[in-house]
Structure 1
Amino acid sequence: MSTIEQNLTAAHAEVKAEIARTDSKTSLLLAFIGALLAGVWTVANDAHLPAPAYAVGGTGVALLVTAAALLLRAVRPNLGGARPMGFPLWATLSAEQIRATLAEDRREQDIANLSRIAVAKFANLRRAVDLTCVAGVLLLVAAGIAAGGAL
């Protein structure tokens, strides 16, 4: 196996690993946000809070819901649209066509496509983390208001 072949194989594996890592982080953060929203709902539903606490807390909840939407967008399957590659393409081909397609070395294009997918997933994850942090601060401020301390 030549150096270019080894490099292509390594790059392909690396991009796939980055997608898997981003999906794992995304699923963990989505579960955390779901638990946080359930907890906030439980507290806010049973307590009589001052209006400013509801306003600040409501903004925090809105940010959490936005973060969850970004995370769902990050894990949404991308089947390639009009020109699918890899698995989605195979579903449209006969056995002979699959054999012919796999005989061609398309790793360069696959690496480029997977890299774009990985970057888009990572950008959504980063935005969701930022929103979750801001929402957490707002929820802490709302808790402080509710406790009668802040503002």
Structure 2
Amino acid sequence: MSATEQNLAAAHAEVKAEIARTDAKTSLLLAFVGAVLAGTWTVAKDASLSLPVLVVGGIGTALLLAAAGLLLSSVRPNLGGARPVGFPRWATLSAEQITAELAEDHRAQHIADFSRIAVIKFTGLKRAVDLTRAGGALLILAALISVGGAL
């Protein structure tokens, strides 16, 4: 196997692994956001809350909901639209067409396509983390205002 072959194989595996790592992190954060939202609802539904607590907590909840939306769109399957890569495309081909397709080395194009997908997923995850942090901080502030009776 030539150096180019080895490098293509390594890059292909690396970019696919990066997508998997990003999806795993996204799944964990989505579970966390869901748990925080459920906990917030459980605590707030029967409590008598002041207007400042409702406003601050409502904004925090809205940010967490926005984070959940970003996370869901980040893990939403993307079958490639008009130019699918890998298995989605194979579903439209005959056995002979698949054999012909696999006879050619498309790894460089796959690496480019998968890298773009990974960057989009990572950017969505990064934004969702920022929203989760801001929403969580606002929920903590709402709790402090409620307990301390401030405002």
Give the CA deviation at 1:46. 1.2
CA contact (8 A) 1:12 1:107 kept: yes
How many residue pairs match? The answer is 151
8 Å CA contact retained: 1:60, 1:135: yes
d(CA) in 1 for partners of 2:85, 2:33: 33
Moved over 4 A (4+): none
> Unaligned stretches of 5+ in structure 1?
none
CA distance in 1, matches of 2:65, 2:135: 10
Identity %: 72
Q: Aligned-pair distance for 1:150?
A: 4.3
Summarize the alignment of residues 24-63 of structure 1 with structure 2, pairs less than 5 Å apart. 24-63=24-63
Distance across 2 between alignment mates of 1:134 and 1:81: 34
Using the size of structure 1 for normalisation, the TM-score is 0.98
1:121 alignment partner in structure 2: 121
For 1:149 and 1:19, how far apart are their aligned partners in 2? 46
1:107 and 2:110 matched: no
1:65 pairs with 2:76: no
Secondary structure of 1:46's counterpart equals: coil
Aligned counterparts of 2:62 and 2:24: Cα–Cα separation in 1:
24
1:83 deviates by 1.4
The letter for the 2-side match of 1:30 is L
RMSD of aligned Cα (Å): 0.8
Letter in 2 for 1:145: I
Instruction: Report what 2:2 is aligned to.
Output: 2
